[in-house]
Amino acid sequence: MQIFSCPFCGPRPEYEFHFGGDLGNHRPEGADVSPEVWAQYLHFRNNPKGIAQEIWLHMTCGEIFAMQRDTVSMAAEPGQPLIPEETRP
């Protein structure tokens, strides 16, 4: 079993986490977004071989965060909050 590190809870087993997508895959804005653009946003992934910047959800605490993971070695860096602490409400 792999251990991921939530920036809020620390190291936890991987089954507590859910993949949230590629970091930087921004939701299309506007009412006139084409079906092709929506399909690209929803279904297409970069799927890099090697270092990947990803969004993950820690289902136990409900926080989302960014994590760098190597898809070859499966090494994962500690997660980083998406919203800096000083700007949190």
Q: Which residues bind Zn ion (CB under 5 A)?
A: 6, 8-9, 58, 61
The count of C-alpha atoms lying within 13 angstroms of the C-alpha of 9, restricted to the half-sphere facing its C-beta, is 19
Cβ-based nearer residue to Zn ion, 25 or 61: 61
Cβ-based nearer residue to Zn ion, 52 or 56: 56
Q: How far is the CB of 67 from Zn ion (least distance, A)?
A: 12
Q: How far is the CB of 63 from Zn ion (least distance, A)?
A: 5
Beta strands in 1-89 (DSSP E): 3-6, 10-13, 17-22, 51-58, 63-70, 80-81
Q: How far is the CB of 76 from Zn ion (least distance, A)?
A: 14
Cβ-contact 69, 78 below 8 angstroms: no
